[in-house]
């Protein structure tokens, strides 16, 4: 077994590998850029080596720097994590030339399966069902248009070396191809150093299901069941679960055996994932097609660990060291259900725009990396596991992926795992930047999610007009009105005690007018707590200043984030934000005399919605533009965002130029 390994990655996956290596008695070496000098993974590792500036292209993507760090520290092997150099054959070959073990598959397997174009050719030759498409070299945009016309719309354009939702565009017509082809090439080149693109038929109403593969160097290859990854946004996974609510035992066996055969055909060992696109319209479960193979550990690997009890990182290390797998296919079981939500630095209330900045407050529902995983199958604390790589006071920068943490829950049933997600998300505190906690909580509560009727179009279909908070019932509003009234009385009583000018004789108000979502409720705490005259059995502990309150009303449990505002409270729970106006009942009628403040009209400005790089500016002063016309392209967190005109107008003034780094709300141009 290795005595020391280096992790050629950052963030939560670096922490993940270090945690298992430490349990195995293996020393670890971290490498870090300027931006990550104080990151948790650097503190967790036994040694750390600085490898360059913040941009990945100048640090984590330079193989020579990784190899130099291995030589400097005496690391015998490298775990690449995912992304960065994890699927670069040149990196694995360079390590082998230096006598350093690559904790991953053999070079020939990476070459055969890591390239989406070549893998499809090989899969087709092996008799595996593949999605109709063009897998040759595409010359230019005109060639892409001809190919798309022949295949038939809709089509998916993908960067050959892509992954993580980057370098992908869905095209419903020729216009989409012309607008998106060059962007796919650029994203592929910027993120993966490869601008090749392939085009394939997009299957409508598809499910995205993947099979976890694990093999050793002695010819044994197993499948560790499936993961359902259908809930995606911009082709990037948001929710993953294991097992899939769609897959039957017969389907699981057919998929697994086919994926094992494909893996054996390329001599695969270590952990890997075969991704399949499945027609949800076929109840027989026979309509599944090879999509691609990721020759590395997946972001969503924890859900597989939860239901199988297998530590995939440990197995990768043992396989790299030459050990045989110590279990067989018959030993692979399914115990319970696991769900993973990716907590991203993005604002779902503003069209999911990337959000960078400092984590002024970061308090996950349970601490990350507190569980060694040996005794409970890596299920965390009480079935709640947090894989993270950030810290309170740290910064989520524009240089890397926007993922803050992975929240994983395990339960005996799917509903139990989902209910744990809702409770854990209510207790997850993040302040200082936008995040998607409310959004994923809303998904966990959605009737369609609960039914298991999932497709990759779930988010677009269920939130066609964007996300505005989870649906809130009238009963929940009344419960929140009771909570708000209780908090208001507690705060008034606290103020009375602090003031001391009336010798504590002034009684705090007990009757309140509480307005939630435009509806005003009469809340009284005079004797029993009532809302609109109906008794509400509230159990709550609150001290003025508490940011998070746990409350129970009847059988309903709430974790409520509390923020005091000028007009009352801002209460966030169960995936929705409620601006709550709380006024003493005897003065509430005076609000009708208040003057409404109208926000300024900003429609004549093209405003940068997030910090980023202005990649392209498509218009100049004096140009006429039409509604929907692309005006500029802003790159943030390795993704390009097209900014379009909201209405027909003429460009009056241009305030920025291509290549500029823009702050959020920076004015790019003015229209008239």
35-49, 151-165, 621-635, 651-665, range with the lowest pLDDT:
151-165
The pLDDT assigned to 195 comes to 86
Return the CATH fold of 605-671.
OB fold (Dihydrolipoamide Acetyltransferase, E2P) (2.40.50)
What does the pLDDT average to over 548-555? 93
Closest among 568, 565, 563 to 548, alpha carbons compared = 563
| DSSP β-ladder status, 519-524 and 530-531 | antiparallel
- 476-496 burial by CB neighbour count: b if 16+ within 10 A, else e? bbbbbbbbbbbbbbbbbbeeb
Q: Which pTM was predicted?
A: 0.83
Q: What CATH class has 4-103?
A: alpha beta
Query: 292, 340, 346, 635: which one is catalytic?
Result: 292
Neighbours of 43 (CB within 10 A): 12
What does the pLDDT average to over 557-582? 95
Closest among 238, 644, 174, 277 to 463, alpha carbons compared = 238
Residue of 351 and 124 predicted with greater confidence:
351
Report the sign of the C-alpha dihedral through residues 609, 611, 617, 621, in that order: positive
Q: How confident is the model at residue 374 (pLDDT cuts 50, 70, 90)?
A: very low
124-128, 493-497, 547-551, 642-646, range with the lowest pLDDT:
124-128
- Measure the CA–CA gap between 19 and 258, rounded to whole angstroms: 33
The pLDDT assigned to 370 comes to 64
CB 405 within 8 A of CB 426: no
For residue 565, the Cα-to-chain-centroid distance in whole angstroms is: 30
The pLDDT assigned to 285 comes to 57
Q: 277 pLDDT exceeds 80?
A: yes
* Model confidence pLDDT, tens digit, residues 509-521: 889 999 998 899 9
DSSP output for 433-497: S---HHHHHHHHH-HHHHHT---TTHHHHH-TT--------HHHHHHHHHHHHHHHHHHHHHHHH
Domain 206-462: give its CATH architecture. Answer: 2-Layer Sandwich (3.30)
Residue of 239 and 285 predicted with greater confidence:
239
| DSSP β-ladder status, 101-102 and 395-396 | unpaired
Return the CATH fold of 132-201.
Dna Ligase; domain 1 (3.30.1490)
The pLDDT assigned to 401 comes to 87
Q: 399 pLDDT exceeds 60?
A: yes
The pLDDT assigned to 600 comes to 82
Domain ranges in the chain?
Answer: 4-103, 132-201, 206-462, 474-591, 605-671
Q: How confident is the model at residue 375 (pLDDT cuts 50, 70, 90)?
A: very low
> Could you give the maximum distance between any two Cα atoms of the chain, in Å?
88
The pLDDT assigned to 141 comes to 94
* Model confidence pLDDT, tens digit, residues 595-651: 777 778 888 999 998 888 899 999 999 999 999 899 999 988 767 889 999 889 999
The pLDDT assigned to 503 comes to 57
* Model confidence pLDDT, tens digit, residues 108-161: 999 998 777 778 888 877 777 888 788 678 989 999 999 999 988 889 998 887
Residue of 198 and 176 predicted with greater confidence:
176
Q: Is 118 a catalytic residue?
A: no
The pLDDT assigned to 106 comes to 97
The pLDDT assigned to 284 comes to 61
Q: 505 pLDDT exceeds 90?
A: no
Per the prediction, the chain carries an average pLDDT of 91
The pLDDT assigned to 67 comes to 98
The pLDDT assigned to 282 comes to 62
Q: 373 pLDDT exceeds 60?
A: no
Q: 536 pLDDT exceeds 60?
A: yes
Q: What CATH class has 474-591?
A: alpha beta
Q: How far is CA 434 from CA 89, 259, 437, 662, in A?
A: 37, 39, 9, 18
As a dihedral over the C-alpha atoms of residue 259, residue 261, residue 266, residue 272, rounded to 10 degrees, the angle is: 30
Q: 414 pLDDT exceeds 70?
A: yes
């Amino acid at each position: 077994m290795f005595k020391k390994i280096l992790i050629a990655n950052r963030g939560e996956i670096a922490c993940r590998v270090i945690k298992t290596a430490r349990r195995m008695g293996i020393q670890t070496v971290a490498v870090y850029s300027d931006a990550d000098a104080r990151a948790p993974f650097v503190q967790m590792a036994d040694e750390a080596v600085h490898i360059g500036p913040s941009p990945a292209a100048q640090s984590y993507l330079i193989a020579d720097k990784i190899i130099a760090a291995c030589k400097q520290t005496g690391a015998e092997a490298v775990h690449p994590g995912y992304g960065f150099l994890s699927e670069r054959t040149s990196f694995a070959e360079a390590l082998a030339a230096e006598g350093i073990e690559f904790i991953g598959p053999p070079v020939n397997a990476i070459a055969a399966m890591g390239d989406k174009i070549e893998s499809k050719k090989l899969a087709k030759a092996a008799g595996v069902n593949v999605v109709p498409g063009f897998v040759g070299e595409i010359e230019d945009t005109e060639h892409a248009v001809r190919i798309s016309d022949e295949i038939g719309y809709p089509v998916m354009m993908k960067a050959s070396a892509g992954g993580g939702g980057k370098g992908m565009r869905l095209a419903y017509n020729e216009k989409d191809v012309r607008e998106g082809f060059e962007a796919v090439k650029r994203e592929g080149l910027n993120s993966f150093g490869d601008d090749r693109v392939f085009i394939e038929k997009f299957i409508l109403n598809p499910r995205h299901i993947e099979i976890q593969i694990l093999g050793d160097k002695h010819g044994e290859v197993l499948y560790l069941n499936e993961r359902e990854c259908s809930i995606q946004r911009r082709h990037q996974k948001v929710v993953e679960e294991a097992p899939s609510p769609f897959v039957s035992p017969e389907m699981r066996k057919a998929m697994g055996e086919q994926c094992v055969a494909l893996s054996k055909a390329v001599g695969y060992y270590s952990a890997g994932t075969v991704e399949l696109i499945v027609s949800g319209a076929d109840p027989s479960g026979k309509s599944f097609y090879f999509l691609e193979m990721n020759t590395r550990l997946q972001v969503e690997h924890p859900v597989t660990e939860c239901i199988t009890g297998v530590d995939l990182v440990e197995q990768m290390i043992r396989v790299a060291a030459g050990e045989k797998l110590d279990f067989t296919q018959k030993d692979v079981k399914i115990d319970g259900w696991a769900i993973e939500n990716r907590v991203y630095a993005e604002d779902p209330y503003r069209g999911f725009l990337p959000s960078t900045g400092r984590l002024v407050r970061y308090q996950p529902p349970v601490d990350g990396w507190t569980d060694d995983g040996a005794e409970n199958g890596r299920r965390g604390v009480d079935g709640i596991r947090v894989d993270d790589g950030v810290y309170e006071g740290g910064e989520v920068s524009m240089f890397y992926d926007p993922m803050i943490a992975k929240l994983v829950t395990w339960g005996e049933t799917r509903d139990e795992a989902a209910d744990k997600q809702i409770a854990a998300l209510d207790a997850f505190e993040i302040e200082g930047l936008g995040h998607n906690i409310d959004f994923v909580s809303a998904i966990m509560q959605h009737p369609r999610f609960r039914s298991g009727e999932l497709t990759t179009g779930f988010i677009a279909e269920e939130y066609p007009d964007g996300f505005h908070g989870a649906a809130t019932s009238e009963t929940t509003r009344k419960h929140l009105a009771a909570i708000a009234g209780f908090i208001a009385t507690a705060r008034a009583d606290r103020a009375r005690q602090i003031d001391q000018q009336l010798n504590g004789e002034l009684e705090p108000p007990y009757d309140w007018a509480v307005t939630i979502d435009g509806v005003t409720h009469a809340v009284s705490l005079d004797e029993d707590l009532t809302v609109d005259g109906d008794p509400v059995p509230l159990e709550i502990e609150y001290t003025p200043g508490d940011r998070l309150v746990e409350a129970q009303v009847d059988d309903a449990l709430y974790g409520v984030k509390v923020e005091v505002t000028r007009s009352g409270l801002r209460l966030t729970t169960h995936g929705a934000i409620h601006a709550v106006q709380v006024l003493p009942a005897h003065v509430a009628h005076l609000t009708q005399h208040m003057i409404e403040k109208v926000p300024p009209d900003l429609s004549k400005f093209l405003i940068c919605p997030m910090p980023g790089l202005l990649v392209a500016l498509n218009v100049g002063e004096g140009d006429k533009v039409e509604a929907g016309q692309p005006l500029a392209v802003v790159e943030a967190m390795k993704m390009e965002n097209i900014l379009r005109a909201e209405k027909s107008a003429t460009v009056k003034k241009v305030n920025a130029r291509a290549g500029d780094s823009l702050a959020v709300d920076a004015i790019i141009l003015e229209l008239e």
